[in-house]
Amino acid sequence: MAGSRAEIEEALDEMDRLLVASSKAGDWTIWAGCLSQDVEFHDTIYGTYLGRQAVSDFVVAVHAPFPHLRYERDWALIDVNRQEVIFQQRMILPEPEGYAGAPFATDVWSRHRYAGDGLWSLKQDVTLSGAQADANFRGWMEAGGRFAAPPLAPPTSKESE
């Protein structure tokens, strides 16, 4: 069953609301509520995860070092015929205490496929610049940013093949 443009836009807005709620609470299982049970998640750094629980577990682990990280969507393209959305968002690290400079943001493009009933069956993330991400994290640490938990190590090339 195909979703209308309005339905897809509402699902995208709901995903944004869940992202905000997850960031505020530091609980990334909240965001997983917008995923279908059979979701596929492809991340250019960490690989592929299949199923809502596997994706939720991964998202919780990858956000553990900075549970209050936030995402802000800059733009979105909706293809109703394909039931897909492509958008750019900024992944913004929480400001270190006393920091008043520019946000520590990394650009990410995402592709989502709408599954109906407000849920997404595909999520594909592409970090646009590894150099930007590295500089962002280094600057954040130098400004006083601290991990709440050890960072999730990316898989080695052998594991991701």
In a domain, 133, yes or no: yes
In a domain, 62, yes or no: yes
What is the span of the domain harbouring residue 67? 5-149
In a domain, 93, yes or no: yes
> Vertex 102, ends 24 and 89: CA angle to 5°?
55
> Domain count of the chain?
1
Q: What are the CA-CA distances from residue 149 to residues 62, 74, 92, 128 (Å)?
A: 10, 29, 17, 25
Q: What are the CA-CA distances from residue 1 to residues 51, 52, 83, 84 (Å)?
A: 20, 21, 10, 14
In a domain, 159, yes or no: no
pLDDT of residue 1: 58
Torsion sign across C-alpha atoms 21, 137, 106, 63: negative
**Residue 115 CB coordination number (10 Å):** 20
Question: In a structure prediction context, what are the per-residue pLDDT tens digits for the chain, which is 161 residues long?
Answer: 589 999 999 999 999 999 999 999 999 999 999 999 999 999 988 999 999 999 999 999 999 999 999 999 999 999 999 999 999 999 999 999 999 999 999 999 999 999 999 999 999 999 878 888 889 999 999 999 999 999 888 887 544 44
pLDDT of residue 49: 97
Q: Strand runs (DSSP E) across 67-132, as ranges?
A: 70-79, 84-92, 105-116, 119-127
- Residue 56 sits in a domain whose CATH number is 3.10.450.50
pLDDT of residue 45: 85
In a domain, 155, yes or no: no
Look up the pTM and report it. 0.90
DSSP state of 106: E
**Rounded distance between C-alpha atoms, residue 118 and residue 137, angstroms:** 33
